[in-house]
Amino acid sequence: MDDLKSFTYVLAVAECKSISKAAELLYISQPSLSRFISSLEQELGILLFERKSNGISLTEAGEIYVEYGKEIKRLNSTMEHKLKELQLSEEQEIHVCMSLSASLLLAMEVQDKISKKYTGCKATFSNVMAKEIITGLKNRTYDLALGPDISEKDSSIVFDLIVEDYMLLAVPKKYKMLQKAEKREGEKYLWMDISRMPDEFIIQDESCHVRQEIDQIFEEQGKELKPKMIVNSSMLAMQTLERGMGCCFISEVFLPYLTNTENIDLFCIGKNKIKKTKTGIMYLKNKILSRQEKYCIAVLKEKIKEGRINEDFAVVYQEFCVDSQDENVRTALAKVLFTYRLYCDDPKIRKVIVRHASMKEEQVYLCTDKTTYISLYTKDAAVLFEDSSQRRYVNTVDYNVHNLRILEELAGKLRPPAAPV
């Protein structure tokens, strides 16, 4: 007699406490199931069920059979899963979609780590709207997805949380909203009541997942949403924000993409509870993850939590771009070439300011997770610090800076070895 079939049938009867209900669940007739259970009991030489007028229940022998039957079924499922994993080729191609407008450099780094560990394995990355993730996963276009939590919309999707961060209101300083903000205990951003804001909102359209969050925020605070402009992506909203054309709502995970933070104030929002957003990995619930896919997930988690790209790739990017024939591009990238990583563990510090006296300018950098990247390209550069109340500190804050790997060193690694003479 088929042991797995026997376990399945006995477990069904034990759970339903009725042969007729178990038969319906198993899609077989009641007489067939009754004969099967009787034959099994004869084969084992002991009764598994006690038949009564008001139903059926397990005997002591039946309880032992069910206990070990469950464990055997679990082990069998695990074995099949492991065997399926081994069947998957080392030369697997992993298709990942992202709704975070993630940078090309992130994709490059993930692919680099995967190919080093699994020779021949290739990971491809595509940027998509959040609403396209479910369809893409279910029709097998994508193996994995990186983005906001949409699993509540479809129970067949697994969401593996990576980070939970703030939903922020980003406001150009020209609106002078800082004095209308409030300090809330335990929050690293000042809180803003959006009912105090002018109707200068740049809002993502309904194709963006964040739009649902925005609509909910306005509904909670009883303010009518009157967008100044509607755009189709968070990146476009940020570009419009940086031009000072209005205010926008962005997830904290997007902050590294802001290039003009010195002219922008950031506020946390939410009437009864500070609004947070979740970012994670998604895949189909019934999907058997290969070793390569599991490793891809681990690398994505690592890089998203770090909140920055690998320094080697950053320098490669600089190396190639600096040779541009476009003078405007060269000028813009000149500052990027002299990049340092600054670490400061003072909890009150929110921004780092680098002042270049000889060039009569200063640059402002957000300090998140005690780390930021600054440009030092003049000998008289001075480093200052700013807290959430815009108080500045010069010599009273401890910090250290680390120069990124120099271009010549990395370029040497990229050059092919010289031909033997």
Q: How far apart are CA 16 and CA 326, in angstroms?
A: 75
Domain assignments of the chain as residue spans, ordered by start: 3-87, 93-162+278-306, 166-269, 311-412
The 10 Å Cβ neighbour count of residue 111 is 19
Residues in contact with 44: Cβ distance below 8 Å, sequence separation at least 6, in sequence order? 61, 65
Helix or strand holding residue 282 (H, E): strand 276-284
Helix or strand holding residue 402 (H, E): strand 400-403
* Rounded (5°) CA angle 161-166-171: 150
Token pair recorded at residue 319:
């190396």
User: Class assignment of domain 166-269?
Assistant: alpha beta
Q: How far apart are CA 384 and CA 43, in angstroms?
A: 83
Q: How far apart are CA 196 and CA 27, in angstroms?
A: 62
The 10 Å Cβ neighbour count of residue 417 is 5
What is the structure's pLDDT at 143? 93
**Which sign does the torsion angle of CA 152, 157, 161, 166 carry?**
negative
Q: How far apart are CA 249 and CA 234, in angstroms?
A: 8
Q: Are strands 201-204 and 247-251 parallel, antiparallel or unpaired?
A: parallel
Q: How far apart are CA 124 and CA 375, in angstroms?
A: 32
Q: Are 309 and 403 in contact (CB under 8 A)?
A: no
- How far, rounded to the nearest angstrom, does the alpha carbon of residue 146 sit from its chain's CA centroid? 5
What is the structure's pLDDT at 404? 58
What is the structure's pLDDT at 209? 73
Beta bridge partners of 172: 264
CATH pick for 3-87 out of 3.10.20.30, 3.20.20.10, 1.10.10.10, 1.20.1740.10: 1.10.10.10
Using DSSP, state whether 288 is helix, strand or coil.
coil
Q: How far apart are CA 335 and CA 372, in angstroms?
A: 15
Task: List the chain pLDDT tens, one digit each, 421 residues.
Answer: 567 888 889 899 988 888 888 888 888 998 999 999 999 989 889 999 998 877 888 999 999 999 998 888 888 888 877 776 665 545 578 889 887 554 555 677 787 788 888 877 888 888 777 778 889 999 999 999 988 888 878 889 999 988 888 888 999 998 889 888 888 888 888 999 888 888 889 988 877 777 878 888 888 888 888 888 988 777 778 888 888 899 998 888 777 667 777 788 999 888 777 888 888 899 999 888 888 888 899 988 887 776 544 444 444 344 444 444 555 554 544 544 567 788 888 888 988 988 876 556 678 888 877 888 887 766 668 899 988 888 888 878 888 887 654 444 444 444 455 555 4
Using DSSP, state whether 169 is helix, strand or coil.
strand
- Tell which CATH architecture fits domain 93-162+278-306: 3-Layer(aba) Sandwich (3.40)
Token pair recorded at residue 266:
């950031």
What is the structure's pLDDT at 277? 82
Nearest Cα neighbor of 367 from 393, 341, 335 is 341
- The position carrying tokens 């939970």 is 164
User: Do 93-162+278-306 and 3-87 have the same topology in CATH?
Assistant: no
* Rounded (5°) CA angle 200-176-164: 70
Q: How far apart are CA 98 and CA 96, in angstroms?
A: 7
What is the structure's pLDDT at 409? 45
Q: How far apart are CA 278 and CA 159, in angstroms?
A: 10
pTM of this prediction exceeds 0.75: no
What are the Cα distances from residue 404, in Å, to 207, 310, 408?
Answer: 39, 10, 12
- The position carrying tokens 């190396």 is 319
What is the structure's pLDDT at 103? 52
What is the structure's pLDDT at 388? 82
Q: How far apart are CA 166 and CA 350, in angstroms?
A: 15
Q: How far apart are CA 141 and CA 154, in angstroms?
A: 17
